[in-house]
Amino acid sequence: MQVYVYTLLSNRPNLNFIDKVQVPEGEFEGFIFDHDGTLSLSMHVHFDGWIDAFKKNGGDFEFTRQIAQSYAGVGMHDTVKILNERFDCDMSPEQVVSDQESYFFANLDKVLPYEPVVNFARQCQQQGKPISVASGGIRKTVIKTMEAIGIDKLFEIVITQDDVQNSKPAPDLFLLAAERMNVNPQKCLVFEDSLLGIEAAQRAGMKSLLVTPEDPK
């Protein structure tokens, strides 16, 4: 698979065409990974689940991939509240999220691990470097997806929206992950697939990699 990674490790970001992750040796002591779209190729299933849930709950608006990407990293209930305001809807966040989750779980077999990032995480683990997951998703969904793609045993530290008060772009998820790893935030590298996640990392005082994989065909 061809992989584009936009690196934000210096004041002059550069676009690299690579099939594996490479970072400066010795610069970082801890590594934090977003889940959906970073460790797992799951965004296409989530997107279809949102479409299905909105239709069931009277969401009479066009939900595009561009809109979905703009809210990537935002908590699911917060996303529904934002869309209600944006499109003048009155959808129940609890019901929409429940319907979206039901669709997602029914199509979990369509989710794949994103090997370049997963392999880098395995390499970190083998070298004894602290790693963690920090996802804006619901814990139940994140854990089930990790189990489905075989990476649940890779991470002992998994932080989700259930663990913090504020979702991305607030830095809460990443700061809690750094605390659990016992690593200085300035020594952490964050792997993300969304600009809101990159902003959250910057607000946490961390450097970051923006990973932009293609959806499975």
For 126-171, the pLDDT digits (tens) are: 999 999 999 999 999 999 999 999 999 999 999 999 999 998 999 9
Q: What is the pLDDT of residue 145?
A: 97
If you classify domain 3-41+112-212 with CATH, what class do you get?
Answer: alpha beta
Cis amide prior to 24 (ω within 30 degrees) = no
Q: What is the pLDDT of residue 215?
A: 60
* Percentage of residues in the chain having pLDDT higher than 90: 74
**Which residue matches tokens 């210096």?**
10
Q: Count the Cβ atoms, other than its own, within 10 Å of residue 149.
A: 18
Report which of 74, 29, 33 is spatially closest to residue 177, judged by C-alpha positions: 33
Position 47 pLDDT exceeds 90: yes
Q: What is the pLDDT of residue 75?
A: 81
Q: What is the mean pLDDT of the chain?
A: 87
Mean pLDDT, residues 7-11 taken together: 36
Q: What is the pLDDT of residue 26?
A: 67
Dump pLDDT digits (tens) for 200-215. 999 999 988 888 776 6
pLDDT, greater one: 37 or 16: 37
Asked: is 43-109 a CATH 1.10.150 domain? The reply is yes
DSSP per residue, 2-39: -EEEEEESSSS-EEEEESS----TTS-SEEEE--BTTT
Position 21 pLDDT exceeds 80: no
Q: What is the pLDDT of residue 73?
A: 76
Q: pLDDT category, 69, cuts 50, 70, 90?
A: confident
CA atoms within 13 A on the CB side of 169: 10
Q: What is the pLDDT of residue 209?
A: 87
Position 2 pLDDT exceeds 50: no
Dump pLDDT digits (tens) for 99-126. 999 999 999 999 999 988 999 999 999 9
Mean pLDDT, residues 177-183 taken together: 98
Q: Hey, where are the domains in the chain?
A: 3-41+112-212, 43-109
Q: What is the pLDDT of residue 6?
A: 42
Mean pLDDT, residues 58-78 taken together: 89
